[in-house]
Chain A
Amino acid sequence: EIVMTQSPATLSVSPGERATLSCRASQSVSSNFAWYQLKPGQAPRLLIYGASTRATGIPARFSGSGSGTEFSLTISSLQSEDFAVYYCQQYNSWPWTFGLGTKVEIK
Chain B
Amino acid sequence: EEQVVESGGGLVQPGGSLRLSCAASGFTFSNYELNWVRQAPGKGLEWVSYISSSGSTIYYVDSVKGRFTISRDNAKNSLYLQMNSLRGEDTAVYYCVSKYYDFWSGYLSFVWGKGTTVTVSS
Q: Which residue numbers of A lie inside 8 Å of B, CB to CB?
A: 34, 36, 41-46, 49-50, 53, 55-56, 87, 89, 91, 94-101
Contacts and interface: CB of A to CB of B under 8 A. Distances in A.
Given A43-B114, A94-B59, A50 B44 contact: no
Contacts of A34: 110
Contacts of A56: 109
A43 to B, nearest CB: 5
Contacts of B115: 43
A95 B44 contact: no
A41 B114 contact: yes
Contact of B112 (A44, A96, A98, A101): A44
A98 B114 contact: no
A99 B44 contact: yes
Interface of B: 35, 37, 44-47, 50, 59, 61, 95, 99, 106, 108-115
A87 B47 contact: no
- Most chain B CB atoms below 10 A, which of A34, A44, A45, A46: A44
B59 A98 contact: no
A43 B106 contact: no
Contacts of A98: 44-47
Contacts of B111: 46
A99 B39 CA distance: 12
B112 to A, nearest CB: 4
B58 to A, nearest CB: 11
A49 B108 CA distance: 7
A96 to B, nearest CB: 4
A43 B112 contact: yes
Contacts of B114: 41-43
B17 to A, nearest CB: 23
B13 to A, nearest CB: 26
B79 to A, nearest CB: 15
A43 B22 CA distance: 13
